[in-house]
Amino acid sequence: MASIAFSSAIRNSMSWPTMLSNKPADDMKDGFSFGKSMFTTRKHNFNHQDLILTNVASPLTPAIAPPPEKTARPDDRHHVAWTSIRQERWEGELVVQGQIPLWLSGTYLRNGPGMWHIGDYNFRHLFDGYATLVKLHFENGRLIAGHRQIESEAYKAAKKNKKLCYREFSEVPKSDNFLAYVGELANLFSGASLTDNANTGVVKLGDGRVVCLTETQKGSIIIDPVTLDTLGKFEYTDTLGGLIHSAHPIVTDTEFFTLLPDLVIPGYLVVRMEPGTNDRKVIGRVDCRGGPAPGWVHSFPVTEHYVIVPEMPLRYCAQNLLKAEPTPLYKFEWHPDSKAFMHVMCKASGKIVASVEVPLYITFHFINAYEEEDEDGRVTAIIADCCEHNANTTILDRLRLQNLRSYNGGEDVLPDARVGRFIIPLDGSPHGKLEAALNPDEHGRGMDMCSINPCNLGKKYRYAYACGAERPCNFPNTLTKLDLMKKKAKNWYDEGAVPSEPFFVARPGATQEDDGVVISMVSDKNGGGYALLLDGSTFEEIARAKFPYGLPYGLHGCWVPKK
């Protein structure tokens, strides 16, 4: 295969220095405490020319080791990617191996479910955990890192009561009696019992506010990107109502689009919000063409002039939501007989310009979309790319923590995935196409967690960065650069490590689409974690910095440039 796999032999033979300084957490109680330190400061003789210790102004000081926990967590023996973070907050400067570009000035924020237990009770699913926000602040070649738990009402209530108090992805609070259960169901219909645990994504709005998000509308929380403090709820001031929305809105300095599923009369509202406001305006509505409920819309793409609304046969299911114990598909139901569709709505008028049937599909994340033009400049089709799981719903079950933690290697259990490319004609044809944008073997038939150069959002593009697979595996374990023009991929791989979403940051003034760096945070096989920088063009490692503690897996991030 034409992919380039970068050897980890040199990296695995080294022990990386720890941080320069840190601030210990100041709120260690209610079962959320430090774990055992696995790292010590040692002298190293590096002979690899590409590894340069970045000069720093502050003196080198010993790392402050967290005190050991009184009792070990039940999941201690598992890969650190699937274990809870050991402290509520931390901040410190990291020693950098390699060279951070001096132009890289700002903060990368990554959100994700980093706390998967309450006391001795362990959550079921990857998506259940309480949100942990991690930052990497780059300035003058130095790196300040830190993390903090997002103080949602769900998280604070769990700490106070030492039990689950709100409905998470697969978790339901245990009722003491039948009357309490009836009351909890009433709270479900009103939305009061739904979680505000904003553990999925983080976005910077056009007015500078930074908001953490999940699929419940109440789970929109404003944070301070410098201190990571929870500042309060992002309250929508319109009267649109509803309980859920897309976890991934389309956000630029001038635009904010999202989808609001209608569970009563199956369909979707397409809405826009102006920068500096909390008021959403309806652009238009899409009525579902099949099934008893709208399809799951975790994400969706846009082009310069259109919003693309996916209608998956994996549909919301009110009955599953009401059940106290999770079903195999959790709050969803697979309805292949209802078929699958893609709808195209004009941003300006709200008019639906295309609604086509497409082959069945499953996707969490769309990558990008653009308008295909003929020789006369007329738009003839919409091209929309996504991380597509071959219409295989088992990916949801594979993300149960029990499955992730019980993997011992050797067996290949990760369901196949590809870059699914939708071709949506605008000539009135009733059917669209779905095909692989490149041979899935290029990225190990694993594909998710994509990012692109934001300058190409909604436009024709060539490169994307994602997590792929080095098989056998049970979870995406490589970082992959996709060249959609040459239909090739380059893969970075560190044996036993679990990298999170690769995030592309363009170099200021760049004219080439891949001129920049790719940032990822990696959970190491030996219980540690490190921040990683790859060159966006060559996809070679240029720097890494080790955390002084185990870093669990995280989901999605954003870039906040220095003002």
Per the annotation, binding residues are: 248, 298, 365, 556
SS3 string, 442-504, reads HHCCCCEEEECCHHHCCCCCCEEEEEECCCCCCCCCEEEEEECCCCEEEEEECCCCEECCCEE
What residues form the annotated binding site for Fe cation?
A: 248, 298, 365, 556
Q: Is 8 helix (H, G, I), strand (E, B) or coil?
A: coil
Torsion-angle region of 152 (φ positive above 0: left; ψ -120 to 50: alpha; else: beta): beta
Q: How far apart are the first and last CA of the chain?
A: 44
Instruction: Report helix, strand and coil shares of the chain as percent, to nearest 5.
Output: 10, 35, 55
Residue 159 belongs to what H/E stretch? helix 153-161
Q: How far apart are CA 335 and CA 293, in angstroms?
A: 10
Residue with tokens 């003058």: 140
Q: How far apart are CA 477 and CA 324, in angstroms?
A: 33
What backbone torsions phi and psi does residue 513 show, to the nearest 5 degrees? -60, -35
Burial bucket for residue 104 (CB in 10 Å: 0-12, 13-18, 19+): buried
Q: How far apart are CA 124 and CA 77, in angstroms?
A: 17
